[in-house]
Amino acid sequence: MTTIHFTETTTATPQQFVAALTDFGPGRSKIWGNTDDGYLKVHDESPSTADVTEGSGGVWERLHYDWSDPNRVVMTTTDSNVWGGNSGHTYTFKERGDGRTDVDVVIVREGKNLKGRALAALLGTGGKRVLEKRFEATVHAIEARDSDTGTA
């Protein structure tokens, strides 16, 4: 099992970040680089939860999203072609006094087969920096989106 943890600071509010995380419409891949719109399928959605399949590059996972806590989004893997066990993502938001938000990210990857174990090992050895750089791009895309709509 591989656990990756990092923090990024953004000008987006927790509400703006949650809105981007839970926007399952077309164009999701423009915000979330590890998501291909062709994989995206919303199975069920309520005001604070969703059951969604997403992925890219031959790797997909079905996730249970829970954003009932306005300062945290928990995404639990319920099915995948490579991930199992305790796999998932947790995003925790902390508003700062300077108007910015710290976003704490924890990604857990537990391979359920040979491909998954190999990918988890790769993430554990060098994947953190790759995921951090992709997440930085996501943060900039959310900030630009909110700036474009005048909600920032």
Confidence at residue 33, expressed as pLDDT on a 0 to 100 scale:
84
136 sits in which H/E element:
helix 128-148
Q: Domain of 117: which CATH number?
A: 3.30.530.20
Number of domains the chain is built from: 1
132 sits in which H/E element:
helix 128-148
Confidence at residue 127, expressed as pLDDT on a 0 to 100 scale:
80
Report residues of the chain scoring pLDDT below 70. Answer: 146-152
Domain range holding 137? 2-148
